[in-house]
Amino acid sequence: MAVTTAPGSTDTVLTDTTRRTAARVAAVGYIALFVLGIFANFIVKQGLIDPTDPTATVAAIRDQEPLFRIGMAAFVAIFLIDVAVAWGLYVLFAPAGRARSLLVAWFRLAYTVFLGVGAVFLYIGQEIATSPVALGADVALLMFAAFDFAWLVGLIAFGVHLILLGRLVIVSRIAPRLVGILLLVAGSAYALDTLAHIMLVDYAAVADLLLALVATTAMVAELVFTVWLVRAGRRSSAVTRDDLAPVAP
């Protein structure tokens, strides 16, 4: 990591170039995550897996196995890209407090780990569905359900990540306050939906409402944040030693 040292001090300060690079990495990562996420989740996963019909699911995967494998590869790519995004956000917001920025990054990495674990279940389900040995369509569907729950647990951490990131933006003023508010609202929506998934016996009764809430808030917040990241990666934003002073809660 590129750093510079103030005269007469051993404290390191992130250079302007490093932070612009971090903003670019995060911006490109967000764009890639958006594209890959739509393809992997909505086109492949939801297009081929019917949680209410094991037989139809297995038939669809066998018929379009190359597409399903590409979808799995997209999930793995998301897993890797999220690591780079976590690094970029940590470096970019380190002037607001390295400990706080690190906590934000850790929660994103926790979500990423659960997505990686979920991808393993996805692979096992695909292997069962396409195996010449009859292992049972119900078992394959169970693996896909395990993927969903692993991802769901990860989304709790992702919601906390957005809440902490939003608060960090608000108190640091590194990005516009509106960006922080939108991220905080989106994170709260993620957390609410995930907890409802786990705790409600009849989640289906509120599923449409909560999914609409999550989709709307997340799309607006992360789109606005991505636009800001793109702009931050293109302009100069010099960092001084004062920027590294603790931010009042």
pLDDT tier at 11 (50, 70, 90 boundaries)?
Answer: very low
Q: Is residue 1 part of a domain?
A: no
Q: Provide the domain limits for residue 48.
A: 14-234
Q: Is residue 37 part of a domain?
A: yes
Q: What is the pLDDT of residues 117-166, one digit of tens each?
A: 999 999 999 999 998 766 788 999 999 999 999 999 999 999 999 999 99
Q: What does the block give as tokens for 91?
A: 């470096």
pLDDT for res 1: 39
Q: Is residue 92 part of a domain?
A: yes
Half-sphere exposure for 131 (CA within 13 Å, toward CB): 14
Q: Is residue 81 part of a domain?
A: yes
d(CA 88, CA 165): 13
**SS3 of 6, please?**
coil
Q: Is residue 3 part of a domain?
A: no
Q: Is residue 104 part of a domain?
A: yes
Residue 249 has pLDDT above 50, yes or no: no
Looking at per-residue confidence, does 162 or 237 come out higher? 162
Residue 2 has pLDDT above 60, yes or no: no
Q: What does the block give as tokens for 131?
A: 């195996």
pLDDT tier at 12 (50, 70, 90 boundaries)?
Answer: very low
Q: Is residue 239 part of a domain?
A: no
Q: What is the largest CA-CA distance in the chain?
A: 72
End-to-end CA distance of the chain: 28
Q: Is residue 193 part of a domain?
A: yes
d(CA 159, CA 237): 28
How many CB atoms neighbour CB 231 within 10 A? Answer: 12
Number of domains in the chain: 1
pLDDT for res 15: 61
pLDDT for res 244: 41
